[in-house]
């Protein structure tokens, strides 16, 4: 009992010293000796109290810092928290192995231009420079715990159009250009490309596999994600419908994807849509009468677990899921020792569809599940091309090229919807006002979401890829976000 109490005391003191470190090393305090003395004294007292507990469990005092502290952050005080902590270490002359030092590298921001230009990204150069800077300010030879303070907002190249809208040469050029620009996350599915048909089934995975072999990129430098198709009944060329997500179907789907991709393992394997009735692709209201006899989630997890044990897949993702589905999978995954293997949910999220924020966001936040946001430009609608002067958009645009053949897309993105049209025009005005393209505004909005790990885009032209990459370097001001939210309040989710 006493040991537990001592542990709690140490944790409380750790929180206190971290908070006081932020306060006393902030730009709000004077730079005189009183300010530094108070900070150093607080660290000293915390360390002594923790060490006084006796025994190996309390011989360390974790001292937290960060290369962007103090806060509020400004150029004149950048790194000062680390510097003061380093001065205390030298003044105290405590044995280095009696103190655990933790610090962090700042993720991309765009606001803190005094930290490596933004910082711009979490590429290898920025991480190495951040580590060297922290070591110098702390005056130590090593850091015990080094952390990423917030993630690098990445983009993920989807392959949904490859094999139909984009031929092999164009697809290889796009994948090359994306990889050369730093994109290493590629998403596919066994049913792609779309519109789906028997003659092209699996071609997107094949194209991605051909690029992987031609590129000779080290396997661990590329993240490959793909999906198993849920029950449909319409795609009879995929295992008879597919009929269900039972263990046989899941196993056969994984083996087929591995063969088409030409890889030994898949980094992230996702259930494309649930094996149960859920409203999706434009539907918003749940109708209990539509439910059917489905494969238990336990069986689906067992099949995925076997694939992990066999080294065929590494992590599990869900897609087009609901809050109930996500939480139920997580609950069952604890029993099957797969809880740490479920990482993501891939759902639609964009300026015209923010349903994720209504319930799923809370689940993802508390369960530490990341959102892979597909359709960040709402199938290109948010670029404004369908509402140009001619009123219909270019003939090679997806909604024109496959008109009448892509029911899932057309049911959600109805170009004749007056609320959709009005909302898009308002977003185009916001982009023009602030000097960026509508496409950049759309992607940058998605990437600013704290739960979004990546935006899944599907470029068919190099110019489209360029705009997406530009969006990763854009920080939307509070003024822009406020204007976006005003439009959203008037036209909420016209493309659910």
Domain boundary among 96, 117, 148: 148
Domain of residue 278, CATH code: 3.20.20.100
Domain boundary among 87, 122, 148: 148
Is omega for the bond preceding 360 within 30 degrees of 0, making it cis? Answer: no
Residues 31, 50, single domain; the answer is: yes
Residue 316: per-residue pLDDT? 97
> Sign of the C-alpha dihedral, residues 232, 233, 234, 235?
positive
Is 441 within a domain? yes
Residues 258, 178, single domain; the answer is: yes
Is 306 within a domain? yes
Residues 170, 132, single domain; the answer is: no
Is 496 within a domain? no
Coil/strand/helix, residue 47: helix
Give the strand order in the sheet containing 145-148.
61-64, 99-105, 145-148
Which residue segment(s) compose the domain that 37 sits in?
A: 2-148
pLDDT tens readout for residues 111-152: 677 888 777 667 778 889 999 999 999 999 999 988 876 655
Domain boundary among 148, 164, 193: 148
Q: Residue 233: left if φ>0, alpha if ψ -120 to 50, beta else—which one?
A: left
pTM for this predicted structure = 0.74
Residue 31: per-residue pLDDT? 43
Residues 325, 420, single domain; the answer is: yes
Is 180 within a domain? yes
Is 365 within a domain? yes
Residues 99, 203, single domain; the answer is: no
Residue 120: per-residue pLDDT? 65
What angle is formed at CA 36 by the lines to CA 35 and CA 42, rounded to 5 degrees?
95
Residues 143, 161, single domain; the answer is: no
Residue 30: per-residue pLDDT? 42
Catalytic site positions: 192
Is 325 within a domain? yes
**Would you say 107 and 95 are in contact if contact means Cβ atoms under 8 Å apart?**
no
Is 324 within a domain? yes
Listed as ranges, residues in the chain with pLDDT below 50 are 2-37, 39, 50-60
Is 495 within a domain? no
């Amino acid at each position: 009992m006493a040991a537990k109490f001592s542990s709690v005391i140490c944790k409380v003191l750790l929180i206190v010293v971290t908070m006081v470190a932020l306060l006393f090393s902030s730009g709000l305090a004077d730079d005189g000796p009183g300010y530094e003395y108070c900070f150093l004294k607080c660290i000293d007292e915390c360390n002594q109290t923790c060490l006084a507990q006796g025994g190996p469990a309390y011989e360390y005092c974790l001292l937290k810092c960060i290369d962007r502290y103090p806060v509020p952050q400004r150029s004149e005080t950048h790194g000062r928290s680390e510097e003061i902590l380093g001065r205390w270490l030298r003044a105290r002359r405590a044995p280095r192995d009696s103190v655990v030092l933790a610090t962090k590298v700042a993720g991309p921001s765009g606001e803190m231009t005094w930290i490596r230009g933004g910082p711009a990204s979490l590429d290898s150069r920025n991480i190495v420079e951040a580590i060297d800077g922290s070591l110098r300010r702390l005056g130590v030879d090593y850091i015990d715990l080094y952390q990423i303070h917030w993630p690098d907002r990445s983009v993920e190249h989807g392959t949904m159009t490859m094999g139909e809208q984009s031929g092999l040469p164009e697809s290889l050029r796009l994948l090359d250009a994306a990889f050369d620009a730093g994109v290493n996350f590629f998403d596919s599915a066994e049913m792609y490309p779309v519109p789906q048909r028997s003659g092209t089934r699996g071609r997107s995975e094949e194209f991605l596999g051909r690029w992987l072999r031609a590129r000779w990129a080290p396997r661990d430098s590329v993240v490959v994600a793909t999906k198993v198709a849920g029950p449909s009944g319409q795609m009879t060329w995929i295992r008879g419908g597919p009929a269900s997500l039972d263990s046989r179907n899941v196993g056969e789907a994984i083996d087929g994807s591995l063969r088409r991709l030409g890889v030994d393992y898949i980094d992230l394997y996702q259930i494309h849509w649930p094996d149960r009735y859920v409203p999706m692709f434009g539907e918003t209201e749940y109708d209990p009468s539509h439910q059917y006899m489905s494969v238990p989630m336990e069986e689906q997890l067992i099949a995925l677990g076997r694939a992990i044990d066999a080294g065929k897949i590494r992590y599990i993702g869900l897609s087009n899921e609901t809050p109930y589905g996500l939480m139920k999978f997580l609950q069952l995954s604890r029993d099957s020792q797969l809880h740490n293997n479920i990482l993501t949910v891939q759902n639609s999220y964009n300026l015209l569809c923010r349903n994720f924020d209504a319930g799923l966001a809370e689940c993802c936040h508390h369960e530490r599940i990341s959102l892979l946001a597909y359709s960040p430009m709402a199938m290109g609608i948010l670029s404004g091309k369908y509402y140009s002067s001619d009123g219909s958009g270019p003939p090679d645009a997806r909604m024109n090229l496959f008109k009448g053949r892509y029911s899932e897309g057309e049911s959600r993105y109805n170009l004749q919807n007056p609320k959709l049209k009005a909302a898009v025009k308002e977003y185009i005005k916001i982009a023009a006002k602030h000097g960026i393209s509508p496409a950049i505004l759309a992607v940058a909005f998605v990437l600013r979401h704290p739960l979004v790990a990546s935006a899944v885009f599907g470029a068919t032209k190099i110019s489209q890829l360029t705009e997406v990459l530009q969006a990763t370097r854009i920080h939307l001001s509070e003024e822009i976000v406020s204007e976006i939210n005003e439009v959203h309040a008037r036209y909420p989710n016209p493309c659910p």
